[in-house]
Amino acid sequence: MNKAILVTRPDHDLITTYLFQWSEYVINLANKKRIKVLDLSSKKANEKNFTSYIVKNNPILVFFNGHGNKDIIAGYDNEPLVSINKNEKLLEKKIVYARSCDAADNLGELCIKNNTLAFIGYKKKYTICYSHASVNHPLQDDIAKLFITPSNLIPISLLKGNTAKDAYRKSQESMARNFSFVLSTNATSAQRDSAPYLWINKKYQVLLGDPNASI
């Protein structure tokens, strides 16, 4: 076990709870591959722990789940974990996937300037549609899965040894497939109504940095 990945997954509101639960698939795969998982779950997703885990363990992949904006990625209770011009250098020589709003914009670009290997994220708000009837069972939510499964493919593909470019491509292709599905007659009306939001996620998901980076 010489490789490590770090996952931040707060659960202080409904959407972070969805991402918290869906991140289990990524963590389970890493465990199967005997890759060390630094799991900053729930309240552990704070800046102090984040800094300490990065410095001590030097994970090759950092997978953020949480709210954000152009300048920060946040953890539990929206405490900033990484902030522009403050501590983005913690992400030096790492592959980053930020499942957060807007973070690929200023922060992602600055990370690449500061030697982050690759940064995959979103240049606009990351949007999730979900079923009101499924809020107590996020993993059984047939609308949310159309949004979260393609995004899980980024860390899953990287864990399987794919390059950042291939992980990004697989995620894009998965979103395209889901998009075609929601426009089909096989989709429920609620799934069909989620199409604009799925489209925007696909359009504004970006890969910055070295496309050939891998873990």
Partner 1 sequence: MNKNIGGQKTTDAKIQKDIRELVLARIMAASDDLRVAIGAIEYTKKEMIENVKEGNEIGKEIMEIQMEYLRDMAKGAIYQSP
Q: Which positions touch partner 1 (CB under 8 A)?
A: 13-15, 67, 78, 101, 125-133, 135, 143, 169, 172-173, 175-176, 179, 188-190, 193-197, 199-200, 202-203
Q: Which two tokens stand for residue 62?
A: 């950092």
What gap in Å lies between CA 155 and CA 188, rounded to an integer?
A: 29
Helix (H, G, I), strand (E, B) or coil at 89: helix
- What is the nearest approach in angstroms of partner 1 to the Cβ of residue 7? 20
* Residue 123 and residue 199 in contact, taking contact as beta carbons nearer than 8 Å: no
- What is the nearest approach in angstroms of partner 1 to the Cβ of residue 196? 4
- What is the nearest approach in angstroms of partner 1 to the Cβ of residue 74? 9
Residue closer to partner 1, measured from CB, 38 or 187 = 187
DSSP-derived pairing of the beta strands 72-74 and 80-83: antiparallel
- What is the nearest approach in angstroms of partner 1 to the Cβ of residue 114? 26
Residue closer to partner 1, measured from CB, 59 or 66 = 66
* Residue 118 and residue 210 in contact, taking contact as beta carbons nearer than 8 Å: yes
* Residue 73 and residue 87 in contact, taking contact as beta carbons nearer than 8 Å: no
Residue closer to partner 1, measured from CB, 21 or 127 = 127
Burial (0-12, 13-18, 19+ Cβ within 10 Å), 125: middle
Residue with tokens 């799925």: 198
Residue closer to partner 1, measured from CB, 13 or 92 = 13
Residue closer to partner 1, measured from CB, 21 or 78 = 78
- What is the nearest approach in angstroms of partner 1 to the Cβ of residue 33? 26
Single-letter residue type at 215: I
